Amino acid sequence: MSENEKQSNFWTTLPGIITALTGIITATGGLIASLHTTGIFSSQNTQASSANPPQTQTNTSTCLQQANNATFEVKAYNQNGCKFKILNNKNNVKAHFHATGEWAVGKAADGFEYVTAEGYTREIDESTKKLFKCPDQKLGALIYIRRGKCYHAGEDTVLPLEAEEEINFYINDHAEGYDDNRGIMKVTWDIAN
């Protein structure tokens, strides 16, 4: 029996048939998964509508704003925070930010209860503070980073924004400590007078 006959006979044996079926099932499953993620098998209508565009575009780390006022969320467990920018803003403005809600920078079992955007009042040793995203600000406070510098936003702040300027909002925590954080801060903003 030649080598070609042995190879062509493999697909007619039980191991060959099982191998072929496994390949077909795997390929079919991959195709279905791919089509599902693109929305073809989704029961929801995923077509974009230009009739009423949303006021904000948000994902896990971007909070781009299209209106003169809106609300966005800063999630305590997201170390990327929320990048804020007023879209289509060609002028310098003063923006007023007001935060509501509660969050915590750790597990309740570790003594971290929920706090407002003002953060914890407990004393933190200097060696631990050095590990914070913003070492000079309170643990658990709503902070923003602007041009590489950290600032306290807390529950209420007004800040001038240059045209097209982007700032980043976060909960102040240890750089490696975001995975056990809990809660969301809702931040409402508008153009201040």
Which of helix, strand or coil describes residue 50?
A: coil
β-pairing, 182-191 vs 93-104, is antiparallel
Residue 154 is assigned to a structural domain of this protein = yes
Do 67 and 118 sit in the same domain of this protein?
yes
Tokens representing 183? Answer: 């809660």
Residue 100 and residue 135 in one domain: yes
Alpha carbon distances (Å) from 67 to 71, 89, 107: 10, 10, 36
pLDDT tens-digit profile of 4-22?
555 567 778 888 788 878 8
159 in the same domain as 67: yes
Question: What is the total count of domains within the chain?
Answer: 2
- Residue whose tokens read 């060609």: 90
Whether residues 127 and 85 fall in one domain: yes
- The per-residue pLDDT of the chain, averaged, comes to 78
Does one domain contain both 65 and 124? yes
Look at residue 47 and tell me if it is in a domain.
no
The answer to whether residue 167 sits within a structural domain is yes
* Complete DSSP assignment for 122-174: S---HHHHTTBSSTTS-TT-EEEEETTEEEE--SEEEEEE-TT-EEEEEE--B
CB 187 within 8 A of CB 142: yes
Residue 42 lies in a domain: no
**Is residue 48 assigned to a domain?**
no
Interval 70-87: pLDDT, tens: 888 999 999 989 998 887
Range(s) of the domain holding residue 27: 3-37
pLDDT in tens, 87-146: 777 788 898 999 999 999 988 888 889 999 999 998 888 888 899 999 999 999 999 999
Most confident of 46-55, 87-96, 144-153: 144-153
Question: Percent of the chain having pLDDT more than 70?
Answer: 74
Lowest mean per-residue pLDDT among 32-36, 76-80, 173-177, 185-189: 32-36
- Verify that 73 and 159 share a domain, yes or no: yes
Q: Is residue 49 part of a domain?
A: no
Q: Are residues 184 and 147 in the same domain?
A: yes
Task: Tell me whether residue 98 is in a domain.
Answer: yes
Q: Is residue 166 part of a domain?
A: yes
Question: How far is the C-alpha of 26 from the C-alpha of 23, rounded, in Å?
Answer: 5
Identify the band that residue 31 occupies on the pLDDT scale cut at 50, 70 and 90: low
147 and 64 assigned to the same domain? yes
